[in-house]
Amino acid sequence: MSDHGQAPQSSARRPLVVLEKVNKHFGALHVLKDVDLTVSEGEVVVVIGPSGSGKSTLCRTINRLETIDGGRITIDGKDLPAEGKGLARLRADVGMVFQSFNLFAHKTVKENVTLGPLKVRGTSGSEAGKRADALLERVGVASQAAKYPAQLSGGQQQRVAIARALAMDPKVMLFDEPTSALDPEMINEVLDVMTGLAKEGMTMVVVTHEMGFARRAADRVVFMAEGRILEDTTPEEFFTAPRHERAKDFLSKIL
Ligand code: ADP
Ligand code: MG
């Protein structure tokens, strides 16, 4: 459950995702600049900021879809290996949901959810199937289990993507603008699933422009601009008294 009003970066809880002085370049472009971020068990951190500020790159470095050129990232105390089985296992601890669903088009909804546990976790077929049924029920798409992704609405596909990530039993879930590609009437069905996860204590990093969700579900709001974290504070603080001009300017444009 979220502890609204608590001091940021409470030391009482186990740090699950820790970034220390993380730097990332794409050629000459310095995309992440000395990024320090700690996400503790059960925390919901919403990351916001202008387009191009490095939010997606931040998410992608956390599960090694991108390498880093400096600094350190640990997941539950372990360094991320660059490759191999260790990477697959650690990546399985970090569930990721993208803007563009990214479901396997030639697999059914249920197969999309069972595939990871079968291949990476070594779960038995019957166990993976049972778990998939339960997860599809939980995100409200159980009746679509035998269909293919293209037969589903965008909101349904994104809920399947969430179920697929949860099937790996991740320690932390990353969401990169999960509702940005959805028609407006489907946004809430996805945000409702995410709010449910937050309430159940899932550790979450959520890049979103949905400020209602940030106010409702976030323990902390992290504001990024030009590759730097400029603010890392409670939603109350951020929305009522942002400290940086960049943050004030950003809020004035989206609120
Ligand atoms: P955001 O998600 O905040 O919009 P991104 O992390 O996607 O920002 O991008 C940050 C910067 O890095 C942008 O200038 C973007 O153009 C650049 N960038 C992102 N991915 C790549 C890549 N694979 N190659 C080169 N430049 C990239
Ligand atoms: Mg992005």
Q: What CATH number does residue 225 fall under? A: 3.40.50.300
pLDDT at 121: 84
Pocket test for ligand 1, best of 24, 25, 26, 177 (most atoms within 8 A of CB): 26
Residue 158 has pLDDT above 70, yes or no: yes
Whether 4 is covered by a domain: the verdict is no
Q: What pLDDT is attached to residue 81?
A: 75
- How many whole angstroms from 58 Cα to the centroid of ligand 1? 10
Flag whether 133 is in a domain: no
Residue 56 forms part of a structural domain: yes
* 168 band by pLDDT with thresholds 50, 70 and 90: very high
Range of the domain at 75: 13-101+169-253
Evaluate: CB of 104 within 6 angstroms of ligand 1: no
pLDDT at 33: 98
Measured over the CA atoms of residue 100, residue 190, residue 103 and residue 162, the dihedral's sign is positive
- Measured CA angle at 235 (ends 205, 19), to 5 deg: 35
Confidence (pLDDT) at 87: 81
Q: Which atom of ligand 1 lies at the shortest distance from residue 58's CA?
A: 6
177 Cα to the center of ligand 1, angstroms: 14
pLDDT number for residue 92 = 85
pLDDT of residue 85: 76
The pLDDT, as a whole number, for residue 232 is 98
pLDDT for 145 beyond 60: yes
Comparing C-alpha atoms, which of 242, 194, 186 is closest to residue 218? 194
Q: What atom in ligand 1 is closest to the CA of residue 66?
A: 23
pLDDT of residue 3: 46
What is residue 217's predicted lDDT score, i.e. its pLDDT?
96
pLDDT digits (tens, 9 = 90+) for 215-225: 999 999 999 99
Distance 34 CA to ligand 1 centre (A): 16
Q: Calculate how far, in angstroms, residue 161's C-alpha sits from the geometric centre of ligand 1.
A: 23
Nearest C-alpha to atom 14 of ligand 1 is from which residue? Answer: 52
Domain contains 157: no
When divided into structural domains, the chain yields a total of 1
Question: What's the mean pLDDT when you consider all of the chain?
Answer: 93
Mean pLDDT of 15-25: 97
At residue 1, the pLDDT reads 42
Cβ of 225 less than 6 Å from ligand 1: no
Q: What percent of the chain shows pLDDT beyond 70?
A: 95
26 lines ligand 1 (CB under 6 A): yes
Give 23 Cα–ligand 1 centroid separation in angstroms. 13
Distance 122 CA to ligand 2 centre (A): 32
Give Cα 202 to chain centroid, integer Å.
11
Say whether pLDDT at 169 is over 90. yes
* Residue 124 within a domain: no
Question: Does the structure show a pLDDT above 70 at 9?
Answer: no
What value does the CA radius of gyration of the chain take, rounded to a whole number of Å? Answer: 18
Q: Per-residue pLDDT for 35 more than 90?
A: yes
Q: Which two tokens stand for residue 108?
A: 């059914």
Give the mean model confidence (pLDDT) for residues 33-53: 97
What are the structure tokens assigned to 74, written together? 């640990």
Say if ligand 1 is within 6 A of residue 156 CB: no
Please state the ipTM of this predicted complex.
Answer: 0.98
Residue 125 included in any domain: no
Rounded CA-CA distance 148/156 in Å is: 11
pTM of the full structure: 0.93
Is the minimum distance from the CB of 24 to ligand 1 under 6 angstroms?
Answer: no
